[in-house]
A and B are shown apart, each in its own frame.
Chain A
C-alpha cells in the first residue's frame, strides 16, 4: 500500500481552477483601476500588418507596437520608462482597437483618440505633432516635415523622430517618405509601410 506523500498531495489538492484564476485577474484589473493604481493598460489586436500591441495610460494611448518590436520587450521598456503597474486590460482599449479596425477596413481616415505623448520630447515631439496634418492618402518628404516642424535642416532628425514614433499608425509617420518617392524606413518594416500607403491610396472610404 503506497500513500502519496502528504506534501505532494497538498500541492495537488490546491491546484487552482484556471477559470477561477482568470476571473480573479479580471476583477483585479477593475479594482486596480478604481483604486487609481493601474498606470498602464494593454491589449493586442490582429491587423493586416500583424499583431499590434496597444498600451494606454489614463491620459490616452501611449504606445502602439508592431510584432517585430517584441511586445514583451516593449512592455518591459514601458515599465522602466513610465510605470511597472502594467496590466492586461483589453476593455480599456476597446475604442482604440475599434478605430484601428475601421482604419484597416478603409472606413476611417483619421483617429479620434486621446494620446499620451510622454515617450517623446523636444524636436521629435514637434515632428509627431505635425504628422496628423498630413492627410489620409497623402505623403510628405522628410525635408517637408523638417520645414513644417520649424527646422528645415533637421532632415535626419525627422527620420529618427519617425523611426522612434511611439504611436505608429495613429500618428501617421508612414506618410513620410523620401524626396525621391521611395518609402524610406519604418518601425513596422518596409512591407507594412507599403501596405498602409496602398491601403490609403486605393481604399474605398465610407
Chain B
C-alpha cells in the first residue's frame, strides 16, 4: 500500500485518491450529485489539510469528509422533495458505460442509506469495518452487518437481472 505522509503536496492527494472518492460519491449520492460531492469534498479537504495530524490515514479522512458532504447533499435533496434513491435512466459523465450496469446502479441507489454507505466505504474505498463504523457511528458489528446485508441484496438482484438477460 502506498502510504503518503500527511504533508505531501495536496496535488498528490488528489491524484492518489481522486478516483476512489469519485467512486464513493457516485455510489452514495448518485450520478447527478457525484461531481458536486467530489468537488466539495476536496475543497473542504484542501482547507483542512494543513491541520491534518501527522500519520493520519488520508483515505479514511477523505471518506469521512465525503460522507459529511453526502449527508448534506442527501438532506438538501430531501428538503427539495425529490425522492432519495431514484436514479435517472441514463449514464452520467463520471463513469464508463457498459451493458447491464443500470440495474446495478439502481439497486445500489435503492439500498437503505446505512447499507449503501457501508458497501461504498468498505467495498469501494476499501476501509476496514472499524473505520466504516467510526464514519457511520455505531458498532463495528453493525457496520459489518450493514455492508453484508447490502451486498446480499445486490447479489440476489444482480443474479436475477443477468439470468433475465440470458433468457432474452
Contacts and interface: CB of A to CB of B under 8 A. Distances in A.
Answer yes or no: are A and B bound together in one complex.
Answer: yes
A75 B35 CA distance: 28
Contacts of B38: 24
Given A10-B123, A35-B47, A84 B93 contact: no
Interface of B is mostly: helix
A37 B47 contact: yes
A24 B39 contact: yes
Interface stretch (B15-23, B73-81, B82-90, B137-145): B15-23
Contacts of A5: 155
Interface residues of A, number: 37
Given A16-B95, A20-B94, A27-B39, A11 B9 contact: no
Contacts of A7: 123, 151
Interface stretch (A85-93, A102-110, A118-126, A140-148): A85-93
B10 A84 contact: yes
Contacts of A42: 11
A17 B93 contact: yes
B132 interface: no
Contact of A76 (B8, B19, B42, B96): B8
B26 interface: yes
A10 B22 contact: no
A88 B11 contact: yes
Given A10-B119, A35-B43, A16 B7 contact: no
A145 to B, nearest CB: 33
Contact of B105 (A3, A13, A84): A13
Contacts, number: 114
B57 interface: no
B108 interface: yes
Contacts of B104: 6, 9-10, 13
Nearest to B5: A76
Given A10-B124, A13-B101, A28 B14 contact: yes
Interface in B122-149: 123-124
A15 B91 CA distance: 13
Given A6-B154, A13-B101, A28-B14, A21 B49 contact: no
Given A3-B158, A6-B104, 12 more contacts: A6-B155, A10-B154, A13-B95, A13-B98, A16-B22, A16-B23, A17-B96, A24-B35, A28-B42, A31-B39, A76-B7, A84-B8
Interface of B: 6-11, 14, 18-19, 22-23, 26-27, 35, 38-39, 42-43, 46-47, 49-50, 93-96, 98, 101, 104-105, 108, 119, 123-124, 151, 154-155, 158-159, 162, 166
Interface of A: 1, 3, 5-7, 9-11, 13-17, 20-21, 24-25, 27-28, 31-32, 35, 37-38, 40, 42, 75-76, 78-80, 83-88
12 contacts: A9-B104, A15-B23, A25-B14, A28-B14, A31-B39, A35-B43, A78-B9, A84-B6, A84-B9, A85-B50, A87-B46, A88-B11
